[in-house]
Amino acid sequence: MKVERRLLRVEGEGEVVIEVENSLVKRVRFKVVEAPRFFNYIVRNLHYSQIPDLVSRICGFCGVSYVLVATKAFERCLGLNVPEDVEALRTALHLAERVKSHVLHVLFMSLPDITRAKNIGVLASRNPKIVNYGLKVLQWARDAMTVLGGRFHNAVTIRPGGVYFTPVEDEVRKLSEVLAREILPLASEFTKFVLSLKSIPDEVHKYSLVTVNDAKNDYPHLGTGVCMNGDVYDAVKFYEELVKEEVVPDSTSLQYSINGKGFLVGPLARYNTSFSKLVGEAQDLAKIYSWTPPLKNIHQGVIARVLELLDALLRLKEFLSNYRKPLNQYVEPVAYVDDVCAFVVEAPRGVLYHYYELDDNLKVKKARIVTPTAQNIATAQELAKALINRPYSEAVVEEANRLITAFDPCLSCAVHVEVLR
């Protein structure tokens, strides 16, 4: 018997497929059924300057990550050095996106599972203050993205060489005041609530951890290399030579593995490998509530998310309170350094890899985009093996759903295939 159920509380269309023999679970797999999206192909023959805005449409949750990684890839091969204050503005926008994404996941997807509240409505009836705190933090993050990025989805600020515009100081000052006066205290209470939960599973899961090797040796943000279990690799070598990409039958998402095994990207990987680089207040809370690394269960990713959320808000406080409108917001390309453009950025859900090759007219002749969700699918499948040989029941279906939700998948981002002729 084969049971197929739609995945709940995830972005996009997916299913959990459970094969049952003699009333026992024999196989569990996750199937992405989103319609194919041909971004790797669509960007071909377009000028590099058109690409960042185009690829930002891949994801509503993480549009800043997509436009930023494409921009950094092209800046790398065009020899562009962006002014530090402009780079700081782009980083702040990226941090605001992290806040928005993490609040959405924790509040609407993870907490209903962890607290067995069934849905956000039940959670709100039980914990109205906490839900209200989360919603206010979410609204502030949307406002911050609007001020810094032009709008809260698919920001229109970032471009190769800098930004299209810079926010006025009065708007930034208002954001800063609300953050310090209202949002940080609420975010702290929201974080403490999650850290105090006793219902987060603690069964040990095993996985290899992959993060961006941060260019500034800070908490993982962006760079040209990745770290796996303490070893550093050039991103191109890692994704083009070490990582195996494969097509999976009846799923529209590619899957990725190394030596036949999956690996983990995302908040849990960042937290476990770079805890000491979080802002001090976030580290202190983790220690008070006994959530210092390593976090060994995928469901504990909610801990990493709320502490990353607090870390991001504290970094934003520093940026906003010291903001001065940049004098130079754009730098023209002055050199054509390399025709291979590649970069990695930590999207909220994990490492996002973009690779482009340009022709003599600076048009894209080849592109490859590897998304966080697609990288995590193999690990999710491996962890689901724990359900094998258990008597089939609705509880098994619910547990499989909770498992995939814990990865915070963005399934419509994961379906990047290209036309083969």
Question: Residue 185 pairs with which residues in a beta bridge?
Answer: none
87 in a structural domain:
yes
Question: Residue 330 pairs with which residues in a beta bridge?
Answer: 162
Among 31-45, 55-69, 173-187, 270-284, the minimum mean pLDDT is found in 31-45
Is 254's pLDDT higher than 90?
Answer: no
d(CA 245, CA 239): 9
The model's pLDDT over 108-129, given as tens digits with 9 standing for 90+, comes to 999 998 998 888 999 999 999 9
| Domain residue limits at 39 | 2-406
pLDDT confidence band for 250 (50 / 70 / 90): confident
Global pTM?
A: 0.94
Mean pLDDT throughout 83-96? Answer: 98
Given a contact cutoff of 8 angstroms between Cβ atoms, the answer to whether 417 and 254 are in contact is yes
Q: At what angle do helices 394-406 and 372-384 cross, to 10 degrees?
A: 150
Which CATH number do you get for residue 248? 1.10.645.10
Residue 416: the pLDDT is 47
d(CA 25, CA 383): 14
Helix (H, G, I), strand (E, B) or coil at 247: strand
420 in a structural domain:
no
Please list, in sequence order, all residues whose beta carbon lies within 8 angstroms of the beta carbon of residue 51, skipping any fewer than 6 positions away.
43, 70, 74, 356, 364, 367
421 in a structural domain:
no
Backbone angles phi, psi at 100, to 5 degrees: -55, -50
Residue 42: the pLDDT is 87
Helix (H, G, I), strand (E, B) or coil at 105: helix
What sections of 5-110 are H helices per DSSP? 39-42, 51-55, 63-78, 84-104
Please list, in sequence order, all residues whose beta carbon lies within 8 angstroms of the beta carbon of residue 319, skipping any fewer than 6 positions away.
88, 91, 92, 95
pLDDT confidence band for 408 (50 / 70 / 90): confident
- How many structural domains comprise the chain? 1
416 in a structural domain:
no
Burial 225-244 (b: 16+ CB within 10 A, else e): bbbbeeeebebbebbbeebe
372 in a structural domain:
yes
Amino acid letter for position 213: N
303: closest CA among 19, 171, 105?
105
The model's pLDDT over 30-68, given as tens digits with 9 standing for 90+, comes to 877 666 667 788 899 999 999 999 998 887 778 999 999
Mean pLDDT throughout 369-380? Answer: 92
The model's pLDDT over 382-403, given as tens digits with 9 standing for 90+, comes to 999 999 999 999 999 989 989 9
418 in a structural domain:
no
378 in a structural domain:
yes
348 in a structural domain:
yes
